[in-house]
Structure 1
Amino acid sequence: MKRYWLEKFLDRIADRGRDLLHLLTEGAAVPRLGSLCRALLSGVGEATGTALSREVLRAYERMDREGRQAFFEMLASDFGPDPAAIRAATEEYLRTNDAKALARLMDAVEPPRQELFRRINMAPQGTAALVTMRAELLGLLAQNPALKAVDADLKHLFASWFNRGFLRLERIAWNSPAELLEKLIRYDMVQTIKSWDDLRRRLADDRRCFAFFHPALPEEPLIFLEVALVNGMADKVTPLLDDHTPVLKGSDANTAMFISINSTQPGLRGLSFGNLLIKQVAEDLHQELPQLKTFATLSPVPGFAATLRAAAENSHREFSRARFEVLLQEYAEPLRQASDGEPPVEALMTLLARAEPPRAVLAGPLERLALAYLSLLPREPDVFNAVARFHLSNGARLERINVFADDSAARREESFGVMVNYLYDPDDVIANHEGFVGKGDVAMSRPLQREQKKLATVWNATAGPA
């Protein structure tokens, strides 16, 4: 109710300002968007500024994709910092080294775009509109790198506007508003919610769902985390998602499994809410259920299957065909026998493509290859697994690799059904985080450490792609 009143109040301010400016009279054309932006930056009063900010957004919304791209290009070229002003302010600061000169330098360096976005944010639902605007901008960056400066400004502002102090943690339950529950179904991209019965089971007494909300987008979960309360660390997804799995009393569980974490706003990409959410949820769960001893994930490995397919063709940047072959040496004979004499690499790929793959033959090779994929590739974003990066940089450790953990068609296509457990041990998260972020070290359980040392030796002794 309070928000509804505030929005109506802001709308009235905007309407009054529009009347004062005569921006929109009956049948009149909307001023060119660039002129609106310059007028908005000219230091107008509150009513006029609110009206202008709303008209900027309305003009933007009426544009097609080409028009919006032209708008972003205008922001990049016409609303950047003035090099001459930066140079003069820099020289003054180097000469005087005083606080006023530093302030002038900081003002000169800041692009006018940032102040423009702040003023656009004055419009009713301005924050939500800017988040949507950035989502559209992100889709243009690959073809137009010059727009990265505009994106950097929006991301810089969002980092302040969406910091932890403004976020509200809320538990989502079966009695939450239906509109919110529908959004969970729509937004879950990790473990798709298939029906209302499926959702009801995921919100049962032995399940938890938590989300971060922001006052500027009060009905939109920015990110949400689904948790299963179980006994022992799960190695397969079916018992966690099956509607018919018996409900366990939360007080009888000893393990919290993080089974799905989903960011919902593409326009907030690059802002790290997940780390905060997992740690806050773990703390809250421990307070609610102090008998919980283990906090872990059952996580997908997207990109694993694509990497093996590329390696088989010797077209992967780091995972060469030669490395693929040497990792399979120990399993070469069983693979040949199961595939009518094919070479090990072709045998593995043939067997994995079967509707009913021979699991006993494939389990060992798959686990070894997954460990190599998650620990031996360079840490660059375009090579290293994004899910692994997320959890390892948050301080988790790679605890266990689970082959044939998810038999769904989607998971078989992306990872041949492999999923992994990342363990969040409160005693180790800081050291693990620092090791990964600072040196690229992948924290692992002792069994995986022993195996990884052997793999690293043969990996490093074998040539990568030519």
Structure 2
Amino acid sequence: MTLLADLLSTVFERRYRQPARKGQDNRPIEELACDLVGSAGETSGLALAADILSGFENLSDDKKLVFFQYLATAMNIDPESVRNTLDDYERNPSKSSYRAFLTAAEPRRQELIRRLNRVPRATGALVRMRADLLRMVKTDSELAALDLDFRHLFASWFNRGFLVLRPINWESPAHILEKIIAYESVHAIDSWDDLRRRLQPTDRRCFAFFHPSMPDEPLIFVEVALTKGIPSSIQTLLAEDRTATPEDEADTAVFYSISNCQAGLASISFGNSLIKQVASDLSAELSGLKTFVTLSPIPTLTRWLQANDAASDINNPDESKAVAAHYLLNAKGHAGLPYDPVARFHLGNGAIVHAVHADADVSNKGREQSNGTMVNYLYDLPKVAQNHEKFATTKEVAASAEVRALANSSPVSQP
């Protein structure tokens, strides 16, 4: 895997050597962007792109916002031209009329972003640029269309076919391990010893997706525990004094933490491919593994109860489980999808709600989110595709009989 990653990185980074330049072009960044879109020369285009990217990262937030607003307006589509070319294509469908329509329908800023991506290490810079954009979209609705252009291009550039799966272990480079610590967003890694406990024992695994043009930046990673049986507590799973399970005795792979690493890649989905690839690889490596589950938080349970005036005394473990089961099966958000984001993710991947556990995360974060309740999502590999298709079509939450019985016993009845 490492050899393949290195080869792909070489292919991507061989693209264009940075041309020798006498000095940076210090004109306004908007003027440079306009010139880059109109540039026909490859060498001059590379120099302009490099100046734009380096210049952007040194701008203040106010000036970044001005640049984004320029892209959103001056480099937008011309609706009249789109209408006219579409009318022409409808009257006379041909290669030339269709090309004219496509040209009119694509804003110039998409071509700008593509040209910026021609220089070495540009992809990472553009991901950081979109992270800045996402911070500002919240306060400027005109930028939403610009973000859609970034998403459209990133969906192609970060296609699964370009991603490289790498195992992360205690022998991985220190700068990668530091990023695993920094990016862990589910169960904080408190120290290097804590990280060692998650990577070094033979019953622990970690895998990350990398992109060849960002070889030192994990995009998403998953932490896996090999166990006998399905665990019901994250503290037990991560205990300092636990006894490691021998590989040949493990029958269950537990995905207990999945962390997205790049803010600029929000809404670009990798998790589906990551879990399925890791499950497939582990299944091939360890024939004794028969069960693939998560041990997942329920991050919005308390918030939902409070918003619906449905809070009850869920300090009782049985009641906590019943309330959580009802929430996972019946609480709906946008477009009739589950209210809980983790549920949407795993159900959308083809998993089912398998079991609910009270007092499964007794950390402060776990108590605040769900009174410590956690859930197992089961990935039944032969049925994943079927479950995914059914969920996408009907939005019905697939769940075990045990979870359905729990939901029916819930003291909370709000939908």
TM-score range, shorter chain: over 0.9
**Structure 2 runs not aligned, ≥5 long:** 1-5
Picking from 98, 101, 108, the partner of 1:105 is 101
Distance in 2 of aligned mates of 1:441 and 1:383:
9
Displacement, 1:58?
A: 2.2
Where does residue 259 of structure 1 map in the other structure?
A: 256
- Which residue of structure 2 aligns with residue 334 of structure 1? none
Match of 2:241 among 241, 244, 264: 244
Within-5 A mapping of 1:39-58: 39-58=35-54
| Mapped contact 1:197–1:243 kept (Cα < 8 A) | no
Alignment partner of 1:390 out of 345, 368, 374 = 345
Pairing partner for 1:448 from 375, 378, 403: 403
The residue type paired with residue 342 of structure 2 is V
Shift of the 147–188 alpha-carbon distance from structure 1 to 2, 3 Å rule, reads: same
Residue type at the aligned position of 1:133: M
Give 2:3's aligned residue: none
For 1:290 and 1:95, the matched residues in 2 are separated by: 61
Bigger CA radius of gyration: 1
* Amino acid in structure 1 at the alignment position of 2:102: M
Is residue 107 of structure 2 the alignment partner of residue 152 of structure 1?
no
Counterpart Cα distance in 2 of 1:212 and 1:34: 34
* TM superposition score normalised by structure 1: 0.83
Question: Structure 1 stretches of 5 or more lacking a match?
Answer: 25-29, 311-315, 325-344, 353-361
Contact 2:68/2:143 (<8 A) preserved: yes
Deviation of the 1:158 alpha carbon: 0.4
Kindly indicate whether residue 96 of structure 2 is the aligned counterpart of residue 80 of structure 1: no
Q: 1:184 to 1:430 in 2, by over 3 A?
A: same
Counterparts of 1:246-325 in structure 2 under 5 Å? Answer: 246-308=243-305, 310=306, 316=307, 319-321=308-310
Aligned to 2:125: 129
Runs of 4+ in 1 over 2 A off after TM superposition: 1-12, 449-456
CA 1:410–1:384: 2 relative to 1, 3 Å: same
TM-aligned CA distance change 1:5 to 1:380, over 3 Å: closer
In 2, the alpha carbon distance for the partners of 1:121 and 1:156 equals 14
408, 411, 418: which one pairs with 2:363? Answer: 408
Which of structures 1 and 2 has the larger relative contact order (alpha carbons within 8 angstroms, sep 6+)?
2
Answer yes or no: is 1:169 the counterpart of 2:124: no
Any idea what SS the aligned residue of 1:258 has?
Answer: strand
Identity between Structure 1 and Structure 2 (%): 42
Question: Could you tell me whether the CA contact under 8 Å between 1:23 and 1:31 is conserved in 2?
Answer: no
TM-score, normalized by length of structure 2? 0.93
Are the equivalent residues in 2 in contact too, given 1:435–1:442 (CA < 8 A)? no
Structure 1 contact 168–212 (Cα < 8 Å) conserved: yes
Distance 2:99 2:402 in 1: 55
Q: Does 447-456 or 102-111 show the bigger shift? A: 447-456
Asked if the contact 1:169/1:210 (under 8 Å) is kept, the reply is: yes
3-state SS of paired residue (2:342): helix
Q: Which residue of 2 aligns with 1:426?
A: 381
RMSD: 2.2
Deviates more, 1:45-54 or 1:92-101: 92-101
Shift of 1:178: 1.1
CA shift at 1:383, angstroms?
7.1
Does 1:227 pair with 2:228? no
